[in-house]
Structure formats: C-alpha cells, structure tokens
C-alpha cells in the first residue's frame, strides 16, 4: 500500500517541537521529508533532556521519525547554494525559526518563490501580525497568550498550563492541514503560496469554547460551572473551572477505590441527560429519577455538588476500571484517568500503530507515539529518527544529482560540517 503523500518532497527546516511535529505527520503520510540541520549540533532537541549518554534524546527521536537528515550551514555561501538547489526541487518548505530569521539568512518569501514558484512555504510563528509578531515563543507562552492558562486550573489557584502540548504539537497539526490544503489548491492553480500558523491562534482555536463562555457571561452566570451552584459571583472574564465539563453535559473527576495511594485512581464521570435514569440506578438513588429537583437538567444545575458527591460515594467503592466497565454497559460516558505507564502498557494502542516500538542504532528500542490519523489507503510504518547528517551524501548525490567533484567542493567549503 502506498502513502497518501507519495511523491511530495518536504524541505524540513524546522527545530524544537512545533515544526517537527508537522513534518513528522507529513512523513507518516508518505512524504519524503529532508531535515536540514546545522552541522555539529543539529536540532537543539537532539541533546536536550538526554537520558542515554551520546544518544539522540527521546525529545528528538519522538518528533523526527521517518525523516532524512542533511547537515548544512545555510549562512555559508556554498551552504546557501545547496539550500537553493533543495528549494528548487521541493514541494514544500516548512520552517519555525524566530521571526525574521529566514529573511536574515537571505531567503525571504519573494526570493524563494522566484527560485520555485510552485513551492509552498509554511511557517510557525508565535504570533500573527500585530504588536507581538517579533517575539520568540515557546509552548507555555502560547498556552498563556492563547487563553488556555487563564481558563485552566481551579478558581482559587494559579493559572495552569496543561500537559498536552497544544501550543507546539497543536500548531504543527494546524500547519499540516494548511500545507495539504495548499498542495490541493496548487493542483488547480499551479502556484505555491505562504501558509502561516501562529501559536497564539492555534491555542485560541482549541480554546474556542472558552470564547463562547466569555460572550455568554455577558448574559448571566454560567450555570454549568460549579461556582454557580456554590453561589460565587462571576467576574468579567471566564474563570478557571477546575474539572467541570466544558460542554453542555455536566461532568467531574471523581475518586475511585485506591485514590488514597494511587494518584490516578479517578474517573471522569459525565451525567449525560439521556442516561440520567441509568445514573440514578447505578448509584442507587432511584428517588432522583423523577423527582422535580433532579429529573430535568436545568433543575440539576444548582445541585451539581450534591449530585457528584453522591456519585462519588459509589465510585469510591470500585476501581476505575470496574467503574468504566459498569458504566459503559449502560451507556454512561466516562473515562478512567490513565497514567502514562498504563497507556504505554496498552497492547491495543500498539496494534493500531498509535504507539510503536522502534529500534535505534545508538539508544536501542524506544516507544514513540505514531500517526494518530488513520487513512484506509495510507500505510507507512513508523521508522526511527535519522542520526545527524546521516543522509547528507545520499541527498547531494541522489536527490540533487551532484557529481563527486561537486560534492568534494561542498565538503571542502565547510558547508556540511
């Protein structure tokens, strides 16, 4: 079976997390991804958070599967020549340097477009045009400026960042969609274009329910937030709502058997209106089924603490997996809080390719998160990340079709290290 993006060549000028997640996804759809890295050091993440001496870190290996690596000093004159040759034969160039870095290197959009009018140049930046457009941005900065931090955590605690990398990987995902859309448009126009994803915009896109609530706030209290039933007044901005559900079906994280010693012995329990009767039956509160104070969702809003306290008395008597089992039999939506250890040990995730075990020549076997997007006509096995410069010669020779004398000249220039 083929890859959906077979025949597409990506010039991967990305580093750290946001850009590499995007190009890794494209590689998992079959694109030929050529990662350009600075000689010597390469992508800074190769050595960050290193757990095995002299081996590429898991930070790097888990973001750069299925790519080829060429080392190139793109500030060296010969290095610029090689980059120009790569631009001419690639369909897409992806970069996530600090604002202005590509221009300073001598490769503004106009120049790249002149070299290859069909190329799509896709960029991640921290902010879009505006007062902050010149700023460097990392994950947590984006979570803070995109509305995630102010709405995450408990009302009486600090703003919180989440463990999900919505700023980096979230933006990489948005960028990948922009790239394949531009590739499709190119089949109609024959022309490339610029694709820009700002990390602030991507986080805000993922936080849109909170912008929904910001506007609802102007029309009265947000009844599904527990502070409402606790009689605590709302301010003029969306508050942090702890583990309250962000949707129309109230939910909470509740303790399960063993919570005293296991930090993950909890379950997310959703009191979906459609299954209210089953909820009452499971926890043994049959009198709530038709009682006017509980039977209808609107009446329950002011009693959410009482209701979830009762449900928790029941969940605390069983393990999270038993609770999951019992609730799913009667269609009550719920989710056990799974630790990373439990997820890493889940055989079904390996069977679907969502997790994969990969062999690496220096670090040995490691687990990586595979392609979360399943296409029935795309079958690209997860491969290890490349060693620094592993494919430099191969790319100069087989992709750029340079003869040995030219390759020797490039080597002598110091452009490839």
Residue 113: its H or E element: helix 109-115
Determine the distance from the C-alpha atom of residue 394 to the mean position of all C-alpha atoms in its chain, rounded to a whole number: 31
Q: Which is nearer to ligand CAO, 160 or 375 (CB)?
A: 160
Give the number of residues in contact with ligand CAO, rule: CB under 6 A. Answer: 24
**Residue 223 to residue 242: CA distance in whole angstroms:** 14
322 Cβ contact partners less than 8 Å away, ≥ 6 residues apart: 257
Point out which span in 16-24, 298-306, 323-331, 375-383 binds ligand CAO (CB under 6 A).
16-24
CA torsion through residues 156, 158, 164, 169, sign: positive
168 carries an active-site annotation = yes
Strand positions, DSSP E, 137-232: 194-198
Q: Tell which positions 83-122 bind ligand CAO, by CB under 6 A.
A: 96-98, 101, 104-105
- State the Cα–Cα distance between residues 77 and 175, nearest whole angstrom: 30
Candidate list 3, 126, 146, 251; residue touching ligand CAO; CB under 6 A: 126
305 and 311 Cβ atoms separated by less than 8 Å? no
Cα torsion 287, 293, 294, 295 to 10°: value is 90
Q: Looking at 81, 109, 132, 138, which residue binds ligand CAO (CB under 6 A)?
A: 138
Q: Using only C-alpha atoms, what is the Rg of the chain?
A: 26
Q: How far is CA 278 from CA 7, 203, 281, 293, in A?
A: 53, 36, 5, 17
What would the x/- binding string for ligand CAO be over residues 285 to 324, using CB under 6 A?
----------------------------------------
Closest to ligand CAO by CB, 41 vs 293, is 41
- List 43, 56, 91, 168, catalytic entry: 168
Asked whether position 75 contacts ligand CAO by CB under 6 A, the answer is yes
Which of these segments, 1-9, 124-132, 255-263, 315-323, binds ligand CAO (CB under 6 A)?
Answer: 124-132
**What are the φ/ψ torsions at residue 256 (nearest 5 degrees)?**
-125, 175
Q: Which stretch binds ligand CAO (CB under 6 A): 131-139, 294-302, 304-312, 354-362?
A: 131-139
Say whether residue 24 binds ligand CAO (CB under 6 A): no
- What is the nearest approach in angstroms of ligand CAO to the Cβ of residue 375? 27
The token duo for 382 is 């997860």
Window 163-202: contact mask with ligand CAO (x via CB under 6 A): -----x----------------------------------
Positions in the binding site for ligand CAO (CB under 6 A) = 16-19, 36, 38, 72-75, 96-98, 101, 104-105, 124-126, 136-139, 168
Active-site residue set: 168
């Amino acid at each position: 079976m083929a890859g959906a993006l077979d025949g597409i060549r990506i010039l991967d000028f990305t580093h750290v997390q946001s850009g590499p997640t995007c190009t890794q996804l494209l590689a998992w759809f079959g694109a030929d991804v050529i990662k350009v890295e600075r000689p010597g050091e390469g992508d800074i993440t190769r050595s960050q958070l290193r757990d095995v001496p002299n081996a590429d870190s898991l930070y790097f290996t888990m973001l750069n599967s299925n790519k080829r690596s060429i080392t190139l000093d793109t500030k060296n004159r010969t290095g610029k020549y090689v980059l120009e040759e790569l631009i001419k034969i690639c369909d897409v160039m992806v970069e996530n340097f600090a604002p202005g870095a590509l221009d300073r290197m001598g490769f503004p959009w106009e120049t790249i477009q002149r070299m290859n009018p069909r190329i799509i140049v896709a960029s991640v930046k921290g902010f879009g045009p505006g007062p902050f457009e010149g700023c460097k941005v990392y994950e947590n900065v984006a979570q803070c400026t995109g509305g995630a931090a102010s709405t995450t955590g408990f009302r009486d605690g600090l703003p919180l960042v989440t463990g999900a990398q919505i700023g980096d990987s979230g933006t990489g995902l948005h960028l990948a969609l922009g790239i394949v859309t531009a590739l499709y448009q190119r089949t109609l126009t024959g022309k490339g274009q610029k694709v820009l994803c700002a990390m602030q915009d991507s986080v805000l896109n993922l936080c849109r329910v909170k912008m929904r609530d910001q506007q609802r706030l102007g029309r009265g209290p947000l009844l599904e937030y527990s502070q409402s039933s606790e009689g605590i007044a709302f301010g003029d901005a969306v508050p942090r709502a702890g583990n309250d559900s962000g949707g129309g079906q109230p939910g909470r994280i509740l303790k399960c058997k063993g919570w005293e010693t296991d930090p993950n012995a909890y379950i997310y329990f959703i009191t979906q209106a459609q299954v209210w009767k089953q909820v009452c039956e499971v926890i043994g509160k049959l009198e709530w089924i038709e009682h006017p104070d509980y039977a209808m969702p609107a009446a329950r809003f002011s009693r959410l603490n009482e209701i979830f306290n009762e449900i928790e008395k029941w969940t605390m008597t069983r393990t999270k997996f038993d609770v999951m089992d019992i609730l799913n039999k009667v269609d009550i939506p719920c989710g056990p809080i799974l630790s990373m250890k439990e997820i890493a040990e889940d055989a079904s995730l390996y069977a679907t390719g969502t997790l994969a075990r990969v062999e690496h020549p220096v670090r040995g076997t490691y687990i990586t998160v595979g392609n979360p997007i399943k296409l029935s006509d795309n079958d690209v096995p997860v491969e290890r990340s490349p060693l620094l410069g592993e494919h430099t010669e191969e790319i100069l020779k087989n992709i750029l079709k340079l003869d040995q004398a030219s390759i020797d000249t490039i080597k002598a220039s110091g452009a490839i290290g």
